């Protein structure tokens, strides 16, 4: 009997330990909010799952959703989702486009979508359905794409122009990418065709670099970008550089490399230069610091003529989506403010990985009017993420619905979340 009691006690202890471990590693989830942690009054639902790897999305005036896929699903790269029976759950209504990619947008009766090397447009009917999905018009071609930072995010202004991010194929323009003590290439020739934002006409076919305009440069990689309607201006979220410690261990500790540099939001005007690869922004010192590849030591300041960020977030959180909220559903504090989808880091070791949430920045007159805050958390399903593969969901794309709801894609499990507010 004593042996049996010991066995029962041991089993109970083991179960208690497992419960405690689960509580320590899993976030408490509200099934009514699809596992997300939100401000009071907000609710969330998971409207669809298993859509492959959805990146950016756009919602039509009737509430249907176009999704751009990072990888082809059944040979197609664009999904049209619909909730025909109005039960809050979406299904795939159709799919088209034989190319994968990231960017998608609706403007002036057209659906625009990008691959890693080209941009296409599709004519829409009055219900914003694509008229001829098998024969898009190719408006931009021959864009360079390396093995990293190859995605082409897009946004349109109000004057029939389209802006395309062309990310740099190197981390910091080194002679040997991400290598120990490899110096920067003098003059960084990549900047002629990468590492910036290019502007093209939205209605001109088969445009190449020579027919476009390098609108801004010195931007390592921009996945999140949006056009602010309050001041008719482009804003972008840059992915900051990596490998400060691994390439320059005598200058940066593991902890410094995990925290630096900032993920930066920039307000972009024609001709702006954000300084990559020559500088990075240190959000702790609040300075533009000369990159070690070009003679920096972590303290020497860089060229002051490079533009400053308007918000500097912690390093390596991977801002993949940016959206200025123009709806009327959310409380007044959110009006014209910026939502940012942070995909989550992979290189903050030995510190815990960071991001995996949607943040919010209040704005007034086109500039931040308060501190940024975490708006929607819990996507990862964990209180501490050690590696990205552990995360259940990773935020990527953002869109605003006709009712003012916020939509968030997850390219880890192929889910899409809808966040609403109860007035």
DSSP string, 53-66: SEEEEEE-TTS-EE
* Encoded tokens for 352: 């815990």
- Give backbone dihedrals phi and psi of 110, rounded to 5 degrees, phi first: -130, 150
Residue 347: the pLDDT is: 84
Element (H, E) at 215: strand 213-217
Is 12 domain-assigned? no
423 residues of the chain, pLDDT tens digit each: 433 443 433 333 333 333 333 332 333 344 679 999 999 999 999 999 999 999 999 999 999 999 999 999 999 999 999 999 999 999 999 999 999 999 999 999 999 999 999 999 999 999 999 999 999 999 999 999 988 999 999 999 999 999 999 999 999 999 999 999 999 999 999 999 999 999 999 999 999 999 999 999 999 999 999 999 999 999 999 999 999 999 999 999 999 999 999 999 999 999 999 999 999 999 999 999 999 999 999 999 999 999 999 999 999 999 999 999 999 999 999 999 999 999 998 888 888 889 999 999 999 999 999 999 999 999 999 888 878 888 999 999 999 999 999 999 999 999 999 999 997
Is 13 domain-assigned? no
Check if the beta carbon of residue 163 is closer than 8 Å to that of residue 198: yes
Is 237 domain-assigned? yes
* Encoded tokens for 337: 């403010």
Cis peptide bond prior to 261, omega within 30° of 0: yes
Please state the domain count of the chain. 1
Residue 385: the pLDDT is: 84
Angle at 381 between CA 78 and CA 243, to 5 degrees: 75
Residue 346: the pLDDT is: 85
Element (H, E) at 11: helix 2-25
Q: How far apart are CA 171 and CA 364, in angstroms?
A: 34
Check if the beta carbon of residue 321 is closer than 8 Å to that of residue 224: yes
Q: Domain containing 402: what range?
A: 31-421
Residue 31: the pLDDT is: 62
Element (H, E) at 418: strand 415-421
Q: How far apart are CA 140 and CA 120, in angstroms?
A: 7
Is 174 domain-assigned? yes
Residue 351: the pLDDT is: 85
Q: How far apart are CA 190 and CA 200, in angstroms?
A: 19
- pTM listed for this prediction: 0.92
Provide CB contacts within 8 A for 325, sequence distance 6+. Answer: 334, 335, 336, 337, 338, 339, 400, 406
User: The CATH number of the domain where 193 resides is what?
Assistant: 2.120.10.30
Is 118 domain-assigned? yes
Is 43 domain-assigned? yes
Q: Among positive and negative, which fits the CA dihedral 50, 52, 53, 57?
A: negative
Place of tokens 């002036």: 108
Q: How far apart are CA 296 and CA 274, in angstroms?
A: 17
Residue 15: the pLDDT is: 37
Half-sphere exposure of 120 (CA within 13 A, CB side): 24
Is 9 domain-assigned? no
- CA end-to-end span of the chain, whole Å? 61
Is 279 domain-assigned? yes
Q: Is 360 helix (H, G, I), strand (E, B) or coil?
A: strand
Residue 423: the pLDDT is: 76
Nearest CA to 114 among 149, 79, 138?
138
Residue 9: the pLDDT is: 35
Residue 350: the pLDDT is: 84
């Amino acid at each position: 009997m004593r042996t049996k009691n010991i066995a029962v006690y041991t089993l109970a202890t083991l179960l208690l330990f497992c419960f405690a471990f689960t509580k320590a590693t899993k976030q408490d989830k509200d099934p009514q909010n699809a596992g997300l942690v939100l401000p009071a009054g907000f609710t969330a639902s998971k409207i669809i799952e298993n859509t492959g790897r959805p990146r950016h999305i756009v919602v039509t005036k009737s509430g249907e959703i176009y999704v751009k896929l990072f990888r082809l699903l059944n040979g197609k790269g664009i999904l049209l989702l619909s909730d025909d029976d109005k039960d809050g759950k979406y299904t795939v209504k159709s799919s088209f486009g034989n190319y994968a990619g990231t960017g998608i947008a609706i403007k002036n009766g057209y659906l625009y979508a990008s691959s890693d090397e080209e941009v296409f447009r599709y004519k829409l009917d009055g219900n914003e359905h694509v008229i001829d999905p098998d024969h898009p018009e190719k408006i931009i071609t021959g864009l360079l794409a390396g093995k990293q930072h190859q995605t082409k995010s897009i946004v349109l202004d109000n004057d029939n122009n389209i802006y395309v991010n062309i990310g740099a194929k190197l981390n910091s323009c080194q002679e040997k990418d991400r290598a120990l003590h490899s110096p920067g290439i003098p003059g960084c020739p990549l900047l002629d065709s990468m590492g910036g934002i290019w502007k093209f006409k939205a209605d001109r076919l088969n445009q190449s670099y020579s027919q476009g305009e390098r609108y801004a440069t010195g931007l390592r990689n921009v996945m999140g970008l949006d056009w602010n309607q309050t001041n008719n201006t482009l804003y972008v979220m840059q992915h900051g550089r990596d490998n400060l410690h691994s390439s320059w261990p005598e200058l940066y500790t593991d902890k410094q490399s995990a925290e630096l540099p900032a993920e930066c939001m920039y307000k972009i005007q024609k001709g702006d230069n954000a300084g990559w690869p020559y500088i990075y922004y240190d959000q702790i010192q609040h300075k533009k610091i000369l990159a070690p590849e070009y003679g920096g030591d972590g303290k020497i300041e860089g060229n002051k003529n490079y533009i400053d960020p308007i918000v500097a977030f912690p390093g390596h959180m991977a801002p993949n989506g940016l959206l200025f909220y123009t709806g009327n559903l959310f409380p007044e504090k959110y009006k014209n403010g910026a939502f940012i989808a942070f995909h989550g880091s992979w290189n903050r070791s030995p510190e815990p990985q960071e991001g995996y949430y949607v943040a919010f920045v209040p704005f007034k007159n086109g500039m931040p009017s308060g501190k940024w805050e975490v708006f929607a958390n819990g996507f990862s399903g964990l209180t501490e993420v050690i590696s990205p593969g552990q995360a259940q969901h990773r935020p990527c794309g953002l869109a605003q619905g006709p009712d003012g709801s916020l939509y968030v894609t997850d390219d880890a499990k192929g889910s899409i979340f809808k966040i609403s507010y109860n007035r």
